[in-house]
Amino acid sequence: MPNYRYQVRAATGAIDTGEMMADSAAAAAATLRAQNRQVMQLVPIARTRKIDWARVWEVLNAGSGPTQKDILDFTTQLAVMVRAGINVRQALEGIAEQQSKPVFKRILQQLRSDVESGKSFSEALARHPRHFNALYVNMVRASEMSGSFARMLDRIAAFLQQQLETRKMVVGASIYPGVIATMAIGVTIFLLTFVLPRFAGVFEGKEEILPGPTTFLMGLSSWMVEWWWIPLCGLVVAIGGFMAIVRTGPGLSWWDRLRLRVPLFGPMFRALYVSRSLQTMGELLNAGVPVLDSLVVTSDISGNTHYRRLWRCVGRSVREGKRINAELKDTQLLPRSVVQMIAAGEESGRLGEVLEEIARYYVRLLKDAIKTMTGMIEPLLIVAMGSLVGFIAMAIILPIFKMSSIVS
């Protein structure tokens, strides 16, 4: 029950103030009038709420939602339970009870509520596009029409597993060069800001006999010790500027084009986008999803602005009555052999199977590209790091040798 602070005038004319509890402001005013007092002011008192630490802890541990691995595990469990004869509502309820992540648990409970209210499972999934993408929803919708729900869930799980493994390969291949580069930069900064200043007193007054590399490094070291905040601010500005640029349409297009053309990494990214696009389209077509819908989903999942634009152009040409390969003949994003195989798949009526075969080949090509990239970049990074550290070490040692020879 809320508290109210009041100011009233009594029958005698005296002004009185105080506090009282009432169900509402109207009830408080009625009580005061019943006491033959004129209400001059009546305001609610804000109550200090007790902090629900349990709720705070739940929010802090909730995270941003289910990961791709969580969605894969959920799909696999649901397929097993449906195949065992358990209906979708009961299966969702059972999986939700075992779920430890609060956000994902609420999503599963919402899916169960939607299914209980009469919605189809695909409609319930479509309400959570952030966690269940268009490919997932369309494949489930196609299975609801064909009556092959459990088998389709197995196909979705296999697709998610393949995508998860591919992502791990790409991320793993990108992490290694990043770690080596970070170590090289860290060691260089440590030498310039901690080791070289210790030699400043030794070289003081002997600048005329110092070699050029030593003079340069000593100057750079003193500058970094005094003005360290300039490169730090520059790094922050560069990262912020890059993030702002890639959030724009032209900036994202430039970045996606650069990823396709950069040496060593370019073939890996190209194989990734081709395999992802063709595998997505093949899965959808084999699931019975219409071609136009499959092209829309493929463009959204491709992961690159230029491939997205390509598949949207293909969708427009198909809508006009043309074949898929008609728009692909002049593109540089797909190899000539892939376009020819797509044309052969259209002619034979086995386009979905052909696309899956090409996707499997490009997954193997992606693995080879990752192995080639890591095999080439590892010695290059080690040589670059060794040369940098060796240059700094020699810049310190050479003047010491020179001074000792002069003394002797």
Specify if 92 maps to a domain: yes
Q: Which two tokens stand for residue 56?
A: 């705070």
Q: How many domains does the chain have?
A: 3
What pLDDT is stored for residue 56 in this prediction? 46
Query: 37: domain range?
Result: 3-45
User: What's 208's DSSP letter?
Assistant: G
Look at residue 233 in the predicted model and tell me its pLDDT.
93
Name 408's Cβ contacts closer than 8 Å, sequence gap at least 6. Answer: none
Instruction: Clarify whether residues 119 and 230 are in a common domain.
Output: no
Query: Is residue 194 located within the same domain as residue 228?
Result: yes
Using CA atoms of 388, 389, 394, 395 in order, give the dihedral in degrees to the nearest 10.
Answer: 70
- 234-246 pLDDT, tens digit per residue, is 999 999 999 999 8
What pLDDT shows up at residue 63? 53
- Name the strands in the sheet holding 3-9, side by side, starting at the edge strand that comes first in the sequence: 15-21, 3-9, 38-45
Domain CATH for 94 = 1.20.81.30
- In sequence order, the β-bridge partners of residue 44 are 4
Q: Is 58 domain-assigned?
A: no
User: Cα dist. 252→142, 244, 275, 386 in Å?
Assistant: 33, 10, 21, 35
Contact 257, 307 (CB under 8 A): no
Q: What are phi and psi of 211, to 5 degrees?
A: -65, 160
Flag whether 54 is in a domain.
Answer: no
Same domain, 143 and 215: no
Q: Does the global pTM surpass 0.75?
A: no
Query: What does the pLDDT read at residue 47?
Result: 54
The DSSP secondary structure of 130-173, one letter per residue, reads TTS-HHHHHHHHHHHHHT-HHHHHHHHHHHHHHHHHHHHHHHHH
Rounded Cα distance, 295 and 302, in Å = 10
Q: For position 405, what pLDDT does the model report?
A: 66
Q: Are residues 316 and 230 in the same domain?
A: yes
Average pLDDT of adjacent 10-residue blocks, the chain of 408 residues: 74 73 75 75 62 49 72 90 88 88 89 88 88 86 80 87 83 79 84 81 72 83 87 92 90 91 85 88 86 88 89 90 85 88 88 88 85 80 83 81 65
Q: What is the dihedral of CA 205, 210, 213, 219, to 10 degrees?
A: 10
